[in-house]
């Protein structure tokens, strides 16, 4: 009886060890897979880099508008919105193609000193177009983009 119990204990202990060893191995492999996927994901597309340039430029416009300083001209490479390679190759769909020119026009209008519309509205209109385009495809950055609005 004693022997039987002892063996049973050993078998259980062995099974438990095996379970942990296999479990750990699985986790390790999964971690390596996750790491590889993360590395791939962190390679920003040409469009993603352009979007970050949109963000930085508008952040500087906001600061200048609030302080009443003169505004930096729009960087020419913003026109690349029509051609830049995207993370999702099918991303340049009808919605995107509709919003892209409207956005560029609004962005250029911010600098139009002859406009009848006040500066703050022209600027916020641009940011609202960023948000409108993002609502259909790429909702992730919306909370960050909203911070660009001038209250
Ligand atoms: C015509 C549609 C459209 C407009 C307008 C637009 N975006 Fe985007 N935005 C996208 C799409 C699509 C992506 C995903 C790009 C990719 O991953 O290739 C994106 C990605 C982003 C990202 C994430 C970039 C990253 O690092 O992954 C930010 C931030 C961003 N946009 C901010 C803005 C801001 C700020 C504006 C306005 C000044 C703006 N977007 C205007 C469609 C748009």
Q: Which two tokens stand for residue 10?
A: 């050993």
Q: Which domain holds residue 102?
A: 46-146
* pLDDT at residue 130 in the model: 98
pTM of the model: 0.78
List pLDDT tens digits, range 105-143: 999 999 999 999 999 999 999 999 999 999 987 999 999
In this model, does residue 19 exceed pLDDT 60?
no
Q: Which two tokens stand for residue 71?
A: 């505004």
Return the biggest CA–CA distance within the chain. Answer: 99
**Residue 151 lies inside a defined structural domain of this protein:** no
In the reported structure, the alpha carbon of residue 134 is separated from the centroid of ligand 1 by a whole-number distance in angstroms of 7
DSSP 65-98: HHHTPPPPPPPGGGGGGGT---SSTT-S-HHHHH
pLDDT bin (cut points 50, 70, 90) of residue 13 is low
* pLDDT at residue 8 in the model: 55
**Residue 95 lies inside a defined structural domain of this protein:** yes
Stretch (H or E) spanning 47: helix 46-67
Taking the CA of residue 145 as reference, the ligand 1 atom at the shortest distance is 35
Q: Answer yes or no: is the C-beta of 51 below 6 A from any ligand 1 atom.
A: yes
33 and 71 together in one domain: no
């Amino acid at each position: 009886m004693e022997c039987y119990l002892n063996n049973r204990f050993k078998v259980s202990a062995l099974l438990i060890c095996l379970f942990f060893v296999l479990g750990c191995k699985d986790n390790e492999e999964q971690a390596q897979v996750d790491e590889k996927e993360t590395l791939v994901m962190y390679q920003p597309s040409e469009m993603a880099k352009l979007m970050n340039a949109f963000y930085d430029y508008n952040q500087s416009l906001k600061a200048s508008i609030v302080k009443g300083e003169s505004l930096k001209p729009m960087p020419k490479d913003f026109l690349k919105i029509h051609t830049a390679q995207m993370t999702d190759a099918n991303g340049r769909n009808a919605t995107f193609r509709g919003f892209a020119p409207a956005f560029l026009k609004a962005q250029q209008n911010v600098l139009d000193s002859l406009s009848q519309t006040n500066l703050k509205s022209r600027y916020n209109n641009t940011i609202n177009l960023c948000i409108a385009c993002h609502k259909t495809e790429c909702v992730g950055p919306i909370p960050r983009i909203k911070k660009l609005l001038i209250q």
